[in-house]
Amino acid sequence: MKKNLLGLALLSAVGFSQAAAAQEFDDRWYVSGTVGALFTDSDRGTGNSELLGVGVGKRFTENLSLDIQADRAAPTIDINPTLGDQTWYLDGVNLVGRYHFVKEGRSWNPYLAAGVGGFRHHEQRNSGVNVRGQGPGYGGERKGWNVGGLEGVGIETDRRKRVDLRVEAGVRYDDDANGDYWPRVPNSDADFASGYYDMYVAASILVKLGDLAAPVVATPTCDTLDGDNDGVNDCNDKCPNSEAGQTIGADGCPVKLSIDLKGVNFDFDKATLRPDAVAILDEAVAVLAKYPELRVEVAGHTDLCGKDTYNQGLSQRRSQTVYDYLTSKGIDAGRLAGPNGYGESRPLEATEQTSPACKSETNRRTELNVQN
């Protein structure tokens, strides 16, 4: 029976095994009060008993708590039918560790318990009691301590409040090294048993001492702050007041972008759109429609052939052509700066200023420069 009881406790413990999730824990000291039942080993020859106890403990980590527990049971002993049952006191003191399987958001968490300590047996008999055939006169007070321990499983609330609850079941071991300290089956000539396994079920109330410490809040630093919400932390942001909708560079400052109109080039000395340029402008219209917050400058450019004043006018006409096309496709003129002509002042390709080397389609272009 002893081995069966211990095996049952161990198998029950395995059933509760699960991974614990990390979270903050309540590390206040607490006092506990316990009430339960003790189901004594059948070899004792005693009845079952209520179990009352007190304790003090603390959760030292998220998963580990330690308690010092003291309890008392008072099983009855049927020593002599003519005298009726007599009471035998069994006091226990144990240091108990519990490993809690914590999961965030769960109010009840399972745990495993194991403890070591000792049990004090206190028996007082009348001198007229006939025990083990020794006849009347086998009486007096008998008491003593033996080492012991316990194993159990349970569940406990984890509410971070003043009071928590605990329910536990398990087995306690009494190392009976001296039979004189133990009751036994009456009038039996068998040797005293060496060690007993008692089952227990208990419920405890845990009262926390003191106030729960406030959680430590990390002080924000500039590398974790982004005051203007531009995606660049305040340590690296050289333009801390950038506006929403702007295109921001790695330094936190707005950067000017151009919508690529590569291919929207013009024939030499012309300001009319070629058929191949229309398809590219339609793509630009789609981009502007998708991002209605974008504002762009329409800028026209020429190559290095011709006089500056002529090229200035030609670039203005080219930008006007693109401007008119965009507005004809529904782009609000309020989003378009210009049209502006820059003549030959901003070449992308360095060429001679004389023909034919000055003729560059790369320089004959119109751009949409993003303004925000």
Where helices occur in the chain by DSSP H, the ranges are 2-15, 275-290, 308-328
CA gyration radius, the chain:
45
Start-to-end CA span in the chain (Å): 84
Tell me the average pLDDT across 109-127: 84
| pLDDT computed for residue 84 by the predictor | 55
* SS3 at position 274: coil
Q: How far is it, in rounded angstroms, from Cα 22 to Cα 13?
A: 21
The dihedral of CA 343, 347, 353, 359: what is its sign? negative
Ranges 109-113, 127-131, 168-172, 260-264: which has the least confidence: 127-131
CATH of the domain spanning 256-370: 3.30.1330.60
pLDDT band at 83; cut points 50, 70, 90:
low
Cα angle value 12/14/18 (rounded, 5°): 125
| pLDDT computed for residue 52 by the predictor | 97
Looking at every residue in the chain, the average pLDDT score rounds to 79
Higher-pLDDT residue of 344 and 141 is 344
pLDDT band at 118; cut points 50, 70, 90:
very high
| pLDDT computed for residue 345 by the predictor | 86
Higher-pLDDT residue of 93 and 158 is 93
Q: Which residues pair with 173 in a beta bridge?
A: 149, 197
Residue 163 has pLDDT above 90, yes or no: yes
| pLDDT computed for residue 9 by the predictor | 39
Percent of the chain with pLDDT over 70: 74
| pLDDT computed for residue 182 by the predictor | 47
Q: Is the peptide bond before 356 cis (omega within 30 degrees of 0)?
A: yes
Residue 246 has pLDDT above 90, yes or no: no
Residue 183 has pLDDT above 60, yes or no: no
Q: How confident is the model over 320-337, as pLDDT tens digits?
A: 988 998 999 999 999 999
* SS3 at position 286: helix
pLDDT band at 23; cut points 50, 70, 90:
very low
Higher-pLDDT residue of 363 and 69 is 69
Query: Which residue ranges make up each domain of the chain?
Result: 2-208, 256-370
| pLDDT computed for residue 263 by the predictor | 56
Q: How confident is the model over 134-160, as pLDDT tens digits?
A: 444 445 566 788 899 999 999 999 888
Q: Domain 2-208's class? A: mainly beta
Q: How confident is the model over 46-73, as pLDDT tens digits?
A: 889 999 999 999 999 999 999 999 999 9
The dihedral of CA 33, 36, 40, 41: what is its sign? negative
Instruction: Give the DSSP H or E segment for 91.
Output: strand 84-100
| pLDDT computed for residue 252 by the predictor | 76
Give the other-Cβ count within 10 Å of 356's Cβ. Answer: 8
Q: How far is it, in rounded angstroms, from Cα 196 to Cα 178?
A: 12
pLDDT band at 190; cut points 50, 70, 90:
very low
